[in-house]
A and B are shown apart, each in its own frame.
Chain A
């Protein structure tokens, strides 16, 4: 559910699938995902770094040196080399999309599915198991839970799997009752049967 740009994603898919082939060959596909997510999270937090990477006035050579200095040794060689290739092709601005596209690719290959769970209080382990099982049964894939605690849910839980949303929250129930009452009142007023004294007894 990250922000994506159609055209960027199309370009990014080429790079990410190449990265997947290299990493999977070296048995580092999972590790690379962790590193990329880490990098993506850093980019989301530090937009200036993203701006630096995509700024055309910065020379590719300068960036190349900086990337070596920053990441070599900290991240795996596969990732740093990939970054250098992106830099060489002037595609570092795609980094965020490459990370997202790699994640989707990883999900697809490993038959994983991300399940977003929103609850008012943190989940217990047994509940996690139940959700994971239910999601696995529904999608035929292994569920990776992404949990969010949100007091506005009030109670129950909201689960997102792919495009589908399963809302079992108290806030949804309250909203539904509110809508129904409003609808009923509006119909009765316009239908000429307002809330008169004793009208409900019948």
Chain B
């Protein structure tokens, strides 16, 4: 490739010729003081709260405080290059981040600037950082599972698409590991993942990215990183930026997305720093009064959007999002119940909408000219996995209680379990999923129905049995079962399980096939069983996958397979 000087100069000449002489009109203020990522700017009487401002040195900022003669601004980027008296321009727009298909696979900072050395992200689409969460009408209940690939979670605290499930625990208990495993498990699926690292060590972020790359997870993942060395304003906006990038896929293509916020306690701390520097009054634990809103408005953006159907002319392209072409029911909302649309625009978006649209279409005289169309920008979801780090297991501190109350359940990790070798170190007793059960596969529900309670009573009995008292046969049996289930639910890192494998594996445990096996054989038994079923009975696996249920025919079939395998396994062991 050769460069020619006269060509470059001709480009410049072209630009100059096309350059219309315009007056550059801007509203400007002047920096009064700057420090610690905060600036106070004199003037800017018309500035809006949350507006983006541009500093003379190229840094941008966001209006936080509107005072009588000045505005308090948080500075993103190089605040050391800003001097007293510098000009600050209003941009007239809210803070936004670049979004788009090209963002996938990239590592960016919270303003969307690339950090991975792969050059600029070639996209012109932007979305506002703060976006109002959809209202009741735009949502539908959580009804589709999001498989984490972790047996203990998918069986006992299942997560649905659009759910917000908190991962909470002390440091070094495997919180990030669960989130990363979940991202890795989406491989081959339809979920776009966003991993937001807030206040993590750069080395941790680097190793996470490397792991995602090795496992091929970067093909569908965006990493937004604001490390602990980044200024507090960047750490504060990082989760919102990640959510905005995910929302692009949800609102535009109706895609399922997963956002991991790792972790929100650090974000709350950076927000506390900003608030205190801006002289906002401190409250409990010195957090500002609006720290609840900080997290609630972020997590409310997680949603399962409703699916929208309409009767449209047959030649409407499949990717059409134009609601104007809908053929409306002549009776509108007064139509018979089984054909009734859900709003004045003729959309069908409540449960069984597709059926009602089809029913009406069938009654039309010219039904060959129409079809039922699912609008492709509807039905998307954003699942959130916020992470909170506790100190010494203290879940009643300010931020943990806040986030626990906002989310739809929590996965509680305990250091004691972790060091006892039970990994993932999930405390089954206090981990819950408030809505995920509706989304769980029937098959999984059937095999793991009483697992949670069994394990909880096992823990109780275990403590009791340590006293060395004589146990009756029933109690001993319960103890045996519990110990084997605990062993079965152990899972190495970065090894997510396919949902069908999980079902078979938990089936073998909950139906008692492991009870008379020595505990240290359980893991080997499980591995070989899964291999055996996959190799010898692919049609069974396929059936479980398609039916999503273990029905009356399936149950004895599976019992027989596992029993036969167990005999072989025991024989081989001798």
Q: Give the docked Cα–Cα distance between A194 and B11 (Å).
A: 12
Closest to B32 in A: A3
For this complex, 8 residue pairs linking A to B, each with C-beta atoms less than 8 Å apart, are: A1-B30, A163-B28, A163-B46, A165-B24, A165-B87, A176-B19, A196-B1, A200-B10
Q: How far is the CA of A10 from the CA of B67 in the complex (A)?
A: 12
Nearest-CB distance from A190 to chain B (Å)?
A: 5
Contact with B along A170-198 (1 / 0, CB 8 A): 00110011001100101101110011110
Contacts of A160 in B (CB 8 A): 28
For the complex, give the distance between the alpha carbons of A75 and B67 in Å. 36
CB pair A163 B4 closer than 8 Å: no
B70 CB within 8 Å of chain A: yes
CA distance A163 to B21 in the complex (A): 23
Are A195 and B28 in contact (CB-based, < 8 A)?
Answer: no
Tell whether, in the assembled complex, residue B29 and residue A163 are in contact, meaning their CB atoms are under 8 Å apart: yes
Q: Which residue of A lies closest to B43 (CB)?
A: A163
Contact between chains at B19 and A197 (CB < 8 Å): no
Measured CA separation A9–B119 after assembly (Å): 48
The answer to whether A51 has its CB under 8 Å from any CB of chain B is no
In the assembled complex, the Cα of A160 lies from the Cα of B25 at a distance in Å of 10
Prevailing SS type, chain B contact patch? mixed
Q: Are A177 and B16 in contact (CB under 8 A)?
A: yes
Q: Is B3 an interface residue, CB under 8 A from the partner?
A: yes
Chain A residue contacts of B43, Cβ below 8 A: 1, 162-163
Q: Determine the chain A residues whose CB is within 8 A of the CB of B7 once the complex forms.
A: 195, 197, 200
Closest Cβ of chain A to B280, distance in Å, is 15
Chain B residues near A180 (CB, 8 Å)? 15, 19
Chain B residues near A149: list those with CB within 8 A. Answer: none
Of the candidates A163, A172, A194, A196, the one whose C-beta lies within 8 Å of that of B24 is: A172
Known: A6-B69, A167-B23, A194-B1. 7 other contacts (CB 8 A): A1-B30, A6-B70, A162-B43, A165-B28, A167-B26, A189-B119, A197-B2
Determine the chain B residues whose CB is within 8 A of the CB of A181 once the complex forms.
Answer: 11-12, 15
Residue with the highest number of chain B CB atoms closer than 10 Å, among A160, A165, A168, A173:
A165
Q: Lowest 4 A-B CB distances belong to which pairs?
A: A167-B24, A165-B28, A163-B43, A190-B120
Which A residues touch B46, using CB under 8 A? 163
Contact present for A177 and B3 (CB under 8 Å): no
Q: B391 — which chain A residues lie within 8 A by C-beta?
A: none
A187 to B123, CA, bound (A): 10
Which residue of chain B has its CB nearest to the CB of A174? B16
Is residue B278 contacting chain A, with contact meaning CB distance below 8 A? Answer: no
Q: Find chain B residues with CB under 8 A from A194 CB.
A: 1
Whether a CB of chain A sits under 8 angstroms from the CB of B375 is no
The answer, yes or no, to whether B8 is at the interface (CB within 8 Å) is yes
In the complex, which residues of chain A have a beta carbon less than 8 angstroms from the beta carbon of B79? none
Which residues of chain A are within 8 angstroms of B89 by Cβ–Cβ distance? 165
Partner of B26, one of A3, A9, A165, A173: A165
B190 within 8 A of A: no
CA distance A57 to B482 in the complex (A): 80
Query: Is A31 in the interface zone, CB < 8 Å from B?
Result: no
Q: Given the known inter-chain contacts A163-B29, A166-B25, A190-B120, please indicate yes or no for A6 contacting B67, CB distance below 8 A.
A: yes
Answer yes or no: B561 CB below 8 A from chain A CBs: no
Considering the complex, give the chain A residue whose CB is closest to the CB of B84.
Answer: A3
Of all chain A residues, which has the CB nearest B102?
A190
Tell me, yes or no, whether A164 is within 8 Å of chain B by CB.
yes
B122 interfacial by beta-carbon distance below 8 Å: yes
* Distance of A1 Cα from B69 Cα, bound (Å): 11
Knowing A195-B11, A196-B1, say if A164 contacts B69 (CB, 8 Å): no
Interface string of B195-232 (1 = CB under 8 A from A): 00000000000000000000000000000000000000
Contacts of B28 in A (CB 8 A): 160, 163-165
Task: Decide yes or no: A195 and B8 within 8 Å by CB, A163-B27, A172-B24 being known contacts.
Answer: yes
Per-position 1/0 for A22-42, Cβ under 8 A of B: 000000000000000000000
Residue A4 is within 8 A (CB to CB) of chain B in the complex: yes
Nearest residue (CB) in A for B29 is: A163
The minimal Cβ–Cβ distance linking B140 to chain A, given in whole angstroms, is 39
Q: Total A-B pairs in contact (CB under 8 Å)?
A: 81
User: Across the interface, do B15 and A177 meet the contact criterion of CB distance under 8 Å?
Assistant: yes
A195 to B122, CA, bound (A): 17
Contact present for B25 and A163 (CB under 8 Å): no
Give which listed residue, B11, B27, B32, B68, contacts A165 with CB less than 8 A: B27
- List residues of chain A with CB within 8 A of the CB of B12: 177, 181
A85 to B398, CA, bound (A): 51
- Considering the chains assembled together, what is the distance between the CA atoms of A160 and B16 in angstroms? 26
The answer on a CB contact under 8 Å between B3 and A184 is no
Q: How far is the CB of A91 from chain B (nearest CB, A)?
A: 19
CB neighbours (8 Å) of A163 from chain B are: 27-29, 43-46
Residues of B contacting A173 in the complex (Cβ-Cβ under 8 angstroms): 19, 21
Chain A residues, CB < 8 A from B458? none
Whether A190 contacts B44 by the Cβ 8 Å rule is no
Complex CA gap A176/B19 in Å reads 9
Q: How far is the CA of A143 from the CA of B12 in the complex (A)?
A: 40
Q: What chain A residues lie within 8 Å of B525 (beta carbons)?
A: none
* Given contact pairs A164-B25, A164-B26, A184-B15, A6 touches B1 in the complex (Cβ within 8 A): no
A190 to B98, CA, bound (A): 15
Residue in B closest to A194 when the chains form the complex, CB atoms:
B1
Residues of B within 8 A of A196 (CB): 1
Q: How far is the CA of A172 from the CA of B423 in the complex (A)?
A: 62
Among B4, B16, B44, B45, the residue within 8 A (CB) of A197 is: B4
Is B21 touching A190 in the complex (CB atoms < 8 A)? no
Q: Are A195 and B19 in contact (CB under 8 A)?
A: no
When distances are taken between beta carbons in the complex, the residues of chain A under 8 Å from B21 are 173
Inside 8 A of A177's CB, which chain B residues have their CB? 12, 15-16, 19
Smallest beta-carbon distance A194→chain B, Å = 7
Tell whether, in the assembled complex, residue A165 and residue B42 are in contact, meaning their CB atoms are under 8 Å apart: no
Interface string of B67-96 (1 = CB under 8 A from A): 111100000000000000001010000000
Min CB gap B40→A, angstroms: 9
Q: Give the nearest-CB partner of A164 in chain B.
A: B27
Set A6, A186, A187, A190: member contacting B68, Cβ < 8 A: A6
Determine which of A1, A184, A190 lies in contact with B119 in the assembled complex, contact meaning CB atoms within 8 Å: A190
Kindly state the separation between the CA atoms of A168 and B19 in the bound complex, as whole angstroms.
14
Nearest-neighbor residue (CB-CB) of B23 within chain A: A168
- Interface residues in B113-138 (C-beta closer than 8 Å to A): 119-120, 122
CB distance from B562 to the nearest CB of A (A): 56
A10 neighbours in B (Cβ, 8 Å): 68
Contacts of B25 in A (CB 8 A): 164-167
A6 to chain B: which residues have CB within 8 Å?
A: 67-70
Report the Cα distance A186→B87, complex, angstroms. 27
Give chain B interface residues in 483-542, CB to chain A under 8 Å.
none
B503 to chain A, nearest CB (A): 46
- Residues 144-171 (chain A) with a chain B CB within 8 angstroms: 160, 162-168
Of all chain B residues, the one with the shortest Cβ separation from A196 is: B1
Q: A165 vs B4: C-alpha distance in the bound complex, in angstroms?
A: 39
B298 to chain A, nearest CB (A): 31
